[in-house]
Amino acid sequence: MSTKKSFSIEYAFHASKQLLFQYLSTPSGLGEWFADNVNSRGEDFTFIWNDAEESAKLIQKKNNERVRFQWEDDFEEENDCYFEFKIQVDDLTNDVSLIVTDFAEEDEIEESKMLWDNSITSLKQILGSS
């Protein structure tokens, strides 16, 4: 059983949900902002940063709405931990929000949030949404 805690952060975007989804769900899109390089074979994704590699499984995907990955270590240990990108569109204003859900040890949550803030800032710059 994992001791990691779930946390979510919401970010406003000035981009269509279709365009945003491409950057959240495809290896080429994720390689633009999330990792230095991303490879996939079916539902198995490999994220590469400098000389480090992490593998994750795509465990849920709903077009233009949500993508959920589980790191291979969590999958093998049968932890319920994952990271998820969920796109919400306000019915009245059509404002697009991205909700990132992730898991971290309690004393690492603030650091994890800062890492997400930096990554999402990069994504916004690429999309011209900052």
Structure tokens at 92: 């009245």
Q: Note the pLDDT of residue 73.
A: 85
Backbone angles phi, psi at 17, to 5 degrees: -65, -30
| Section 89-109 average pLDDT | 95
Domain 5-127 falls under CATH 3.30.530.20: yes
Q: Note the pLDDT of residue 80.
A: 87
Residue ranges per structural domain of the chain: 5-127
Instruction: Give the span between the Cα atoms of 107 and 14, in whole angstroms.
Output: 32
Q: Note the pLDDT of residue 130.
A: 63
Please state the pTM of the whole predicted model.
Answer: 0.92
| Section 86-99 average pLDDT | 95
Q: Each residue of 49-79: pLDDT tens digit?
A: 998 999 999 999 999 999 999 999 887 777 7
Instruction: Give the span between the Cα atoms of 105 and 130, in whole angstroms.
Output: 30
Structure tokens at 102: 């992730």
